[in-house]
Amino acid sequence: MKRKTSQKIALEQIFIQQERPLGVEEILQQGRKFVKSLNQATVYRNLKILIDAGWLRKISHPFLGNLYERTNRVHHHHFHCRKCNKAFELPGCALKEDNIAPEGFIVEDHEIFLSGICPSCFKKYSNSQQVTPH
Ligand SMILES: [Zn+2]
Ligand SMILES: [Zn+2]
């Protein structure tokens, strides 16, 4: 099995496997498993192709900068783990837009970024008794 994987297909594979938003560094690292010659310029070029095709969207994350995720997601929010520095997708939304703002404001959209410790880091750190309170 030595067939060459195209860079675009490699990027698509990463997003299908990961199911969470990814930054360029992560995409680069994982993409090199498929395509050794991948570099930052080719990653950016293919991200743009996938965004233009409506397959990916760019998120400006307050802690992590630009992240990319699939467009086939329903409304959701993101969790940033401050230990492993990864972003995760949290399914669903508990915010009720119709009673969040005072009378007279018409809320049309919102964005929430949560942060803390992810389950796998919690396991790791609680085993070594290193969970630090916020
Ligand atoms: Zn973590
Ligand atoms: Zn929401």
For residue 114, the model assigns a pLDDT of: 96
- How far apart are alpha carbons 112 and 16 in whole angstroms? 24
- CA dihedral (92, 93, 94, 98) positive or negative: negative
52/107 same-domain check = no
CA of 15 to the centre of ligand 1 (A): 18
Q: 107 and 96 in contact (C-beta within 8 Å)?
A: no
Instruction: Report how far ligand 1's centroid is from the alpha carbon of 116 (Å).
Output: 8
Distance 110 CA to ligand 2 centre (A): 6
Ligand index nearest the alpha carbon of residue 81: 1
Query: What's the number of domains the chain is made of?
Result: 2
Rounded to two decimals, the pTM is 0.82
- Statement to judge: residues 62 and 114 lie in one domain: no
Q: Please report the pLDDT score of residue 131 as a whole number.
A: 53
Structure tokens at 74: 């329903």
Last residue of a domain, one of 25, 55, 72: 72
| CATH (domain of 6) | 1.10.10.10
Question: How far apart are the C-alpha atoms of 94 and 23, rounded to whole Å?
Answer: 26
User: In this structure, what CATH number is given to the domain that contains residue 78?
Assistant: 3.30.1490
10 and 68 share one domain: yes
What is the residue-averaged pLDDT of the chain?
90
Model pLDDT for residues 73-131, shown as the tens digit of each residue: 999 999 999 999 999 999 999 888 888 899 999 999 999 999 999 999 999 988 776 55
Q: What's the CA-to-centroid distance between 95 and ligand 2, angstroms? A: 6
